[in-house]
Structure 1
Amino acid sequence: MNWYTSIFELIDMRSFSNLWFWIALAVFWSTTSHWVLGVPFDMVQRARRHGGQAEADLADIARVNVNRLLFIARISGLWILGFACFVLTMLALLGFWYGVEFAQALFLLAFPMSLVGLLSLSTAQQIETEESQGEQLCRRLTRHRLKVQLIGTASIFVTALWGMYQNLNVGVL
């Protein structure tokens, strides 16, 4: 037996039975729910509590990130949408039609994140249209964070169910 075989027997390289995949999934969603439209959520909480300069800082960073996101969407949004649909379709076909577990894992990470991206665009458009400031901006960002957390919770639940199914199915074969 060579060293390559020994390592792969010691460390299971399949996605859903690998501890690193689950750690990455948790960090992925934790980070996504903390950074709301590129704004750290602690800034939203600080602006709500203290107002004044903290509120002005929140408005500035939110304005910069909203303008940046909408600029990218307006300039190259259709290209990004087409490429994202291509990648998601490729991962879905490789993963669920051809049975490639790594592609399944990537799809279960990327598809919910694409929903978060669409939600972010929608929220950014609403903030720009309303010219949100102060408490209205805080409420909008908090509502966006709650929706992201709901998507993340559903994503983790579905991924866990699929991962358990895959691990049990491999054990049977």
Structure 2
Amino acid sequence: MRVDWYRIVFELIDMRSFSNLWFWIILAVQWSMTSHFVLGVPYDLLQRARRGHEQAQEDLEALARIKVNRLLYITHVSGMWIVGFVAFVLSVLLILGFFYNIEFAQAVFCLVFPMAIVGLLTLGDAHRIADGEYQGQALQRRLLFLRVKTQAVGVLAILFTSMWGMYQNLQIGALG
């Protein structure tokens, strides 16, 4: 009796998006990294600055200034092109995924759409920080609040993605 390894592996590892372990690993890593690096500033640096480490506060302000200036420069130079491209990609994913029922497009949409929302929140706070009203503890509070908003978007995105993924897996299971 010949063993068909290809068939066994693909039966063991379902290659559809929502039942694929790699999709869920990517989702977890995406939100872990997104909530750790708020506006490009690592959370541990923010925590050290909040504890009163003077060097950490200087590093926090320097890193925030660098990241804000870079983000605003990119936005001013090619912001409209980026908005158009992101809107196009999200529209294509939305139509392919939810109107034509292509599961891969649904999965990518569930990964990309919440990140677009986080990008808008980050851009708004970058403009506020660039106006110069946030330094010292005010900058710390602004970054912490942005982190909370990012985590709230992440929780909602993970909740929606897991519910939609379960629904898709149950639909495939009912049909198969």
TM-score (normalizing by structure 1): 0.96
- The equivalent residue for 2:141 is 139
Superposed, which structure 2 residues align to 1:83-102 within 5 Å?
A: 83-102=85-104
Structure 1 residue identity aligned to 2:152: L
1:17-66 per-position Cα deviation (integer Å, ceiling 9, x unaligned): 11221121111101100001001011111011024221111100000000
- The equivalent residue for 1:52 is 54
- Structure 1, 129-138 or 155-164: larger mean CA deviation: 129-138
1:3 CA drift (Å):
4.8
Q: 1:26 aligns with which of 22, 25, 28?
A: 28
Identity of aligned residues (%): 59
- The equivalent residue for 2:118 is 116
- The equivalent residue for 1:151 is 153
Distance in 2 (alpha carbons) for counterparts of 1:116 and 1:110: 10
- The equivalent residue for 2:107 is 105
How many matched pairs? 173
Structure 2 residue identity aligned to 1:92: L
1:122-153 per-position Cα deviation (integer Å, ceiling 9, x unaligned): 00000011342110000000000000000000
Distance in 1 (alpha carbons) for counterparts of 2:29 and 2:172: 26
Structure 2 residue identity aligned to 1:168: L
- The equivalent residue for 1:64 is 66
Structure 1: stretches of 5+ with no match in the other structure: none
Indicate the RMSD between aligned Cα atoms, in angstroms.
1.3
Distance in 2 (alpha carbons) for counterparts of 1:25 and 1:9: 23
1:53-110 per-position Cα deviation (integer Å, ceiling 9, x unaligned): 2111110000000000000001000000000000000111111111111110000010
Structure 1 residue identity aligned to 2:64: A
Distance in 1 (alpha carbons) for counterparts of 2:133 and 2:63: 14
Q: Secondary structure at the match of 2:101?
A: coil
1:119 CA drift (Å):
0.5
Distance in 1 (alpha carbons) for counterparts of 2:118 and 2:21: 25
- The equivalent residue for 2:162 is 160
Distance in 2 (alpha carbons) for counterparts of 1:58 and 1:134: 9
Distance in 2 (alpha carbons) for counterparts of 1:148 and 1:59: 20
1:11 CA drift (Å):
1.3
